[in-house]
Amino acid sequence: MNTATLGAIAPANPVPLKQDASVIGLVGLAHATSHFSHLLLAPLFPVFMRDFGLSYSDVGLLMSIFFVVSGSGQALAGFVVDRFGARPVLFAAIGCFLLAALAASQVTGYAGLVVVAALAGLGNAPFHPADFTILNQRVSPPRLGHAFSTHGLTGNLGWALAPAFLVGITALADWRVAYYCAALLYASVLALLFWQRDKLRTEAHVRHPDAPKGSDLAYLKLPVVWWSFAFFLLSTMTLAVVQSFAPSILKAVHGVSVEAATLTISAYMLCGAFGMLVGGFVAAYTQQSDRVVALSMSGGALLLLVCATGWLGAAGTMVALAATGFAVGVGGPSRDMMIKKATPKGATGRVYGTVYSGLDVGFAISPMVFGGFMDRGWYTLTLAGAAVVLFISVYAALGVGRRTGPQGSGAAQSAA
């Protein structure tokens, strides 16, 4: 989409493209930092197991700690964002990542790794309420679809960067140096965001002195919030299956090498990023966000079902898994637009914090549910189960859509 097209659909006195692009770029950089931190420990698990004598259960618990802290903190962070603004919360979050990286460089055993996981989870908690508050307040409405697209795309790139960054530096030096470099990376991002802090300022939600007690929690009575939460939980469970178990499934069912199976996950993430780029244009030109999400998730679920049959063979299954990433990615920006429609005025941080905590819950419980399938050798059934869960998320997305029409929107606004 060119500037002329944007100008044609923008309202009177449109915001300059450069101004919107600056905000989108800064928030995207922050979001990439958040996703980088999801994998602050995991790429070096084999090193920790070797150096500290840990088991798979030990290192797996570290990820559970990360997502439990992040998920519980995310809902609470939404209230802080609404009350004090997104910018200081965002700065504090990156500061937690910086401390986590410095702590990781000094660990001498498992207890230290637990502290790192908790610090990183605490830093990750505020990102979605803070990011979306900034985007919704500072980016002009005609460009919000592209803003959400960039937000999702940069998150995927953060996931892709972390293993290469940490493992690469560990191979050249050692893992402690890798974490010093990660701390320097966080410090650089924080310095840049502080320098450009005027572009990240948001208005805090001022509570009316006559507001009834408990009014800040009124949004929790809206069914649409819980339908949105359910959608994030279910769709993330499928993503967690692909990230955690797809390499093992490919190796067990099709005899694919570890290197090729791991490359498939990278292809999934890159195709997901490209899908989000395409999805930004889709979100900018349609008002039926729930239907876009439903179609994209249905496409991804169908592809997973085909993979589960084994009909495609090794190469075909790897291609289909990568295509699944694209299908799900296309729905990403429309998903965020869908949540925006469900958000009462003045409650952006609280709603996004609550809804996106479903993402952390999905990441936390999916390995436990489908790990049991894998332990029993039900490899193809694991993929089929992930497809079924993704199909159920389509029902949740349509449930959100039914509740964000004229009547649903009015109810949401009154709940603010």
The CATH number covering residue 280 comes to 1.20.1250.20
pLDDT band at 231 (very low <50, low <70, confident <90, very high): confident
pLDDT digits (tens, 9 = 90+) for 91-108: 999 999 999 999 999 999
The verdict on residue 10 lying in a domain is no
In the chain the first and final C-alpha atoms are separated, in Å, by: 35
* Residues 107 and 156 both lie in one domain: yes
Q: How far apart are CA 80 and CA 225, in angstroms?
A: 18
Distance CA(257)–CA(251), nearest Å, equals: 6
For residues 16-30, average pLDDT: 89
What pLDDT is attached to residue 6?
A: 38
Among candidate residues 202, 233, 248, the one where a domain is terminated: 202
In a domain, 343, yes or no: yes
CB 41 within 8 A of CB 120: yes
As for how many domains the chain has, the answer is 2
Give the range with max mean pLDDT: 184-188, 303-307, 371-375: 184-188
CA 204 from centre of chain: 24
In this predicted model, which residue has the larger pLDDT, 411 or 169? Answer: 169
Q: Containing domain of residue 360, as a range?
A: 216-416
- Distance, CA of 153 to CA of 325 (rounded, Å): 12
CA atoms of 222 and 13, how far apart (whole Å) = 35
- The verdict on 256 and 332 lying in the same domain is yes
**Same-domain status, 197 and 287:** no
> Where is the domain boundary, 202, 227, 261?
202
Instruction: Give the mean pLDDT of 211-236.
Output: 74
Residues 131 and 196 in one domain: yes
Helix 313-341 crosses helix 258-285 at what angle (to 10 degrees)? Answer: 30
Same domain, 222 and 161: no
Residue 152 lies in a domain: yes
pLDDT of 149 higher than 90: no
Do 227 and 363 sit in the same domain of this protein?
Answer: yes
Positive or negative torsion for Cα 122, 126, 128, 129: positive
Q: What is the DSSP string of 312-370?
A: THHHHHHHHHHHHHHHHHHHHHHHHHHHHHTPPTT-HHHHHHHHHHHHHHHHHHHHHHH
What is the Cα–Cα distance from 161 to 189, expressed in whole angstroms? 15
Write the pLDDT tens digit of every residue in 29-68. Answer: 999 999 999 889 888 888 888 899 988 778 778 888 898 8
Do 270 and 366 share a structural domain? yes
